[in-house]
């Protein structure tokens, strides 16, 4: 990863939506129950990157936690996020989660979505590679 030397401030003249989604493994020993749901994120993120402009998707950053993973995503609008949630890949993963692990609590999932108006967000990157909003705006 190349380091951008100095201070960079991404543009703030466009509205955006930030989507945070994470999974937490509640029962480590129940791998046979949660593994498929846990891994279902990968094809969805691949689909997002393959169809960025069409879907209104910009970028995802990944953060590992002790028992799971959190993704922070940047989108052009809340409507784009909701539209994707009704798509085939997401619905298939959501149905599988509800059928296989929701009731036994072996895997937890959460998400939050925020809409931010133009000129209402601020971010600064100093001596950092392209991550977060900086990478999303490329």
CA separation for the pair 25, 131 (Å, rounded):
26
**SS3 call for 39:** helix
> What pTM was computed for the model?
0.92
Give pLDDT, residue 118.
95
Residue 1 has pLDDT above 80, yes or no: no
For the stretch 83-125, pLDDT in tens is 999 999 999 999 999 888 888 999 999 999 999 999 999 999 9
Give pLDDT, residue 102.
85
CA separation for the pair 35, 12 (Å, rounded):
39
Give pLDDT, residue 127.
97
Q: How far apart are the first and last CA of the chain?
A: 15
**SS3 call for 10:** coil
- Average pLDDT for residues 7-18, to the nearest whole number? 93
Query: Is CATH 1.10.3720.10 correct for 4-136?
Result: no
Give pLDDT, residue 138.
81
For the stretch 37-82, pLDDT in tens is 989 999 999 999 999 999 999 999 999 999 999 999 999 999 999 9
């Amino acid at each position: 990863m190349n380091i951008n030397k100095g201070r960079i401030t991404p543009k703030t003249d466009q509205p955006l939506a930030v989507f945070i989604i994470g999974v937490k493994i509640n029962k480590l020993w129940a791998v046979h129950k949660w593994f498929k749901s846990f891994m279902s994120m990968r094809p969805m993120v691949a689909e997002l990157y393959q169809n960025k402009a069409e879907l209104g998707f910009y970028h995802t950053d990944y953060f590992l936690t002790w028992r799971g993973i959190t993704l922070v995503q940047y989108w052009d609008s809340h409507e784009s996020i909701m539209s994707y949630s009704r798509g085939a890949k997401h619905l298939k993963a959501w149905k599988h989660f509800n059928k296989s692990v929701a009731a036994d609590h072996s895997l937890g999932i959460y998400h939050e979505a925020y809409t931010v108006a133009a000129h209402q967000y601020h971010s600064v990157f100093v001596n950092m590679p392209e991550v977060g909003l900086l990478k999303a705006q490329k």
